[in-house]
Amino acid sequence: MPAGVQAWLEERGTGDAAEAWAKTWDEVSGRFEELTEVDADLARGIAAWVREGNVEGAEMTLKAEEEGRTPAQVSRLRLARADLALLRGDVPEAVGLFRGAVEVFGDEEMADQARVRHLAAARLYNHGLQHGGAGTPEAVEFYRLNAAMFDVSRQPGAHALTQTGLGHALRSLGAAREGEAGVTLLAEAAQAYRAALETATGEDLAVTNRNLGLTLWQQAERVDDARSAELLAESVAAYRAAAGDARRVAAPVDWAMTQSNLGLALMEQAARSGPAGAGYLEESIAAYRGALDVLNAPEHPVGHATVQGNLGRALQSLAETAEGEEARERLTAAVSAFRSALALRSRTAQPGPWAATQLNLATALERLGDSEEAGRAAEHYDEALVAYGAVLEVFSHGTAHDHARAAIERLKSKRAA
């Protein structure tokens, strides 16, 4: 990385913040090739300014180039200036420049206006996603302006693309907002995805259904039980629509991730369904196992570990609905799933997930011990003690720590009995 760029990045902090700005830098600097449509020499000059980390110099050069240019060229110059404003973190200035890039086109050039608005919305959304701030709300406004323009029957592709972008931006805002305001934004995001589904086709149809499923699930987590059950049922239906058999052949990894999400939604549905929940848990387990058929450990270790952990939790919950040998079989399968997840998780690299899985493993082993005869029970209790102890190695306080500490004392009493 050029020294000028490195110095510029160092001014913006360290750690995750620095990584986010480095990503923004790469995205923005890669777009300056578009200026060749205005002037090839200008494009090379701006690229040189940017390589030196001199954002202000690049901005001054672009501003001076507007005179005598066509509306399309002026629009392109202002888009580039807006990108540079985003690099400085000045969202209000970027928004003003994006609007200026739209306004150079007359009312008879609505297609050009819509195209530039879409570019502005996408760039503001990405900036908000990476850095927070006002980028995402401004993206929503640009998307809404375009959404009002496109007719479903005459411009189906543009309609679906705009509604999808609007859904993404609204979902991001809703996830970040607390209370009723966040729930309302998530509901608006779901409505945008539903609108996109009216004209989406092929791969876009599957992806939009998956986005709808996720949004409904997020909304369900934040409303009362009755409404939550309705939303989860819709979420499950959307995930199932996204995970058709044809999708498994055309995009197996994407299909598997959708199956994993479906499994999570079904687990949530089970938790809110009382005695009927067992059926949802069985469907959840089937979804997880389908995902594991694709997300094998050698090629997809992170995904495989995640799904194994969730499979273990579903099996553990299903065991609570059974007795005797049936319960033991499910708990044994849960223990196997948790151990498969731990085989791919490192305490050093992933201390939180590693300890959480140890806690789940310990709980399953303890319950398995409770269901066995004395000799076999002691073996499971000893294994559970080791796993609970592993939790304490990571968590020195908090709910998981307290749970593990109490469980260890409980198990010592069981062993002594």
Write down the domain spans for the chain: 295-417
Q: Which CATH class is domain 295-417?
A: mainly alpha
pLDDT at 241: 93
The tokens of 86 are what? 């985003």
Contacts of 110 (CB under 8 A, 6+ apart): 149
pLDDT at 13: 66
pLDDT at 6: 66
Q: Say if residue 107's pLDDT is above 80.
A: yes
What single string gives the DSSP state of each residue in 143-210? HHHHHTT--TTT-HHHHHHHHHHHHHHHHHHHHHS-HHHHHHHHHHHHHHHHHHHTT--HHHHHHHHH
What is the separation of C-alpha 266 from the centre of its chain, rounded to a whole number of angstroms?
18
pLDDT at 407: 92
Q: Are 171 and 218 in contact (CB under 8 A)?
A: yes
- Going by pLDDT thresholds of 50, 70 and 90, the confidence category of residue 112 is very high
Q: Which of 137, 103, 104, 100 is nearest to 121 (CA)?
A: 137
Eight-class DSSP state of 54: -
- Going by pLDDT thresholds of 50, 70 and 90, the confidence category of residue 3 is low
Q: How far apart are CA 237 and CA 262, in angstroms?
A: 9
Neighbours of 302 (CB within 10 A): 12
- Going by pLDDT thresholds of 50, 70 and 90, the confidence category of residue 161 is very high
pLDDT at 11: 66
pLDDT tens across 335-371, in order? 999 999 999 999 999 999 999 999 999 999 999 999 8
Element (H, E) at 280: helix 277-294
Mean pLDDT computed over 298-317: 97
User: Between residues 116 and 35, which one has the greater pLDDT?
Assistant: 116
